[in-house]
Amino acid sequence: MSDGQGAGPGGSSRRMRVAEVFDGRGPTGGIVINRPQVNPAELAALTAYLTKAPVALATTKTGEDEMSPGAGLVVPRAYHTDGEWIWPAAVGYYLHRYQLSPQPELVEHIRARGFQLAAVAEDRRQAAAAQM
């Protein structure tokens, strides 16, 4: 994960923080989740923020649902950005489908913005794509 530090003209060279979908892998390869639950009152606003943010990098491919392996290839494989953070589209998918909270630092960042997406400059969107 990036520390988000560094700056250039217009801030376009500043590296963005990258959110993880899960907290890691256990000894058998299974997913590890160690996060607080989402506040139900924030679920809709948080989901909207994560899924409606500009796409920095997209593909038509989908991935397997790691919480329901029999579901098939249903998880979107793209990256969103708000110009400060980058997150896989899977973060929004798992929040919507299973109420799996994003990592706490990303949730705090979104709360600090009042759950409101601001316009993302094209150079920041491109920087996010290049960073991935």
Instruction: Give the start-to-end residue ranges of the domains of the chain.
Output: 10-131
% of the chain with per-residue pLDDT over 70: 90
Per-residue model confidence (pLDDT) at position 14: 82
Which of the residue ranges 11-20, 29-38, 67-76 would you say has the lowest mean pLDDT? 11-20
- Arithmetic mean of pLDDT over the chain: 91
The order of strands in the sheet holding 17-18 is 17-18, 85-88, 79-81, 55-57
Model confidence over 93-122: pLDDT tens digits? Answer: 999 999 999 999 999 999 999 999 999 999
The SS3 of residue 75 is: strand
pTM for this predicted structure: 0.87
In angstroms, the CA 100 to CA 87 distance is 14
% of the chain with per-residue pLDDT over 90: 89
Measure the CA angle with vertex 81, ends 95 and 38; round to 5°.
25
Q: What is the chain's Cα-based Rg? A: 15
In angstroms, the CA 12 to CA 7 distance is 7
Per-residue model confidence (pLDDT) at position 12: 55
